[in-house]
Amino acid sequence: MRFIAVFSQQNDYHAVGFDELADAADFLLGGYQDAQLVPCGTYDVLTDETIHVDTGLFEPDTDAGELIRQTARTYFNKAVSRNQE
């Protein structure tokens, strides 16, 4: 897993990991339009870069990149912990 897609569902942030950026983007932008998911962006585990999806979700003073980064890192750390058990 290199790319992590971050989304909001009912004001709670979640993440899902993917090997390819295209798969993460498909998940955010097309695959789950009917599931009431609001795309936030993607996080690259190797480069620590975020790509923000501008949906109007974030308040002007919110650092969207940092929110995506924190949510993705939490998801990634939990995934790594589960794999080590």
Per residue in 29-69, pLDDT (tens digit) is 875 566 678 889 999 999 999 998 877 666 666 688 899 99
**Residue-level pLDDT at 74:** 97
Half-sphere exposure of 37 (CA within 13 A, CB side): 21
d(CA 84, CA 34): 34
User: What total number of domains does the chain contain?
Assistant: 1
Residue 68 sits in which domain range?
3-84
Query: What is the pLDDT at residue 70?
Result: 96
Percent of all residues in the chain with a pLDDT value above 90, rounded to a whole number:
54
pLDDT score at 38: 85
- For the chain, the maximum distance between any two Cα atoms, rounded to a whole number of angstroms, is 41
How much is the average pLDDT of 70-83? Answer: 93
The partner residues of 38 in beta bridges, in order of sequence, read 8
